[in-house]
Structure 1
Amino acid sequence: MAMSLPVIATNWSGPTEYLTEENSYLLPVDRMSEVMEGPFKGHLWAEPSVNKLRGLMRHVMSNVEEAKAKGRKAREDMTNKFSPEIVAAIVTDHIQNILNNIS
């Protein structure tokens, strides 16, 4: 996204904080399955739609200008909302709020 490239990603969990219809291609989830082992045991794993992925990849290749526009929007969003300076300010504010509530 930071490189102005179109992104196709699963519409689930953390990425939904920064992926939007305007800045990316959201891949629908076919089903959820439970992680059965390892450190994420008991959590849910999103299984994206392989058919929808094929369709989105074809769409991107057939609609190059639209994909470029989404890529530009993605970079704009990353720069304006998630740059290191902006994220550092958010973290600093949260820490300051915690410290203020302790005293």
Structure 2
Amino acid sequence: MKWSTMPAQFIACPSGGRLAVIPETEYRRMLEALENGASETTPRADNMHYTAPEVAERLRVSEVSLARWRSTRRGPAYIKSGGRVLYREADLLEYENKNARKGTRPDK
């Protein structure tokens, strides 16, 4: 999959249409890799951020449920950036792994 760079911290995937906001350091790392001969590069998954509607779709819950989880300190960890609620990929994976079950009975 080829990634194209856009000005200042935005990476767009032409086939998926997803726009990812990444930290400046990660953006510079990717540019340096391209300058050093890499044919393509992708942002590290732990630096990807998702909006509440994207997370609600991923977890198959409503946005209202996510908001309720935030107010009761349940659900995946989130960050607030300029009034926006964002979820990091690493936090989503941690939440999913923590809630993975092998059966209906509790582990002993």
Q: Calculate the TM-score normalised by the size of structure 2.
A: 0.24
Greater relative CO (CA pairs within 8 A, separation 6+) = 1
TM-score by length of 1: 0.25
Which structure has more helix as a fraction of its residues?
A: 1
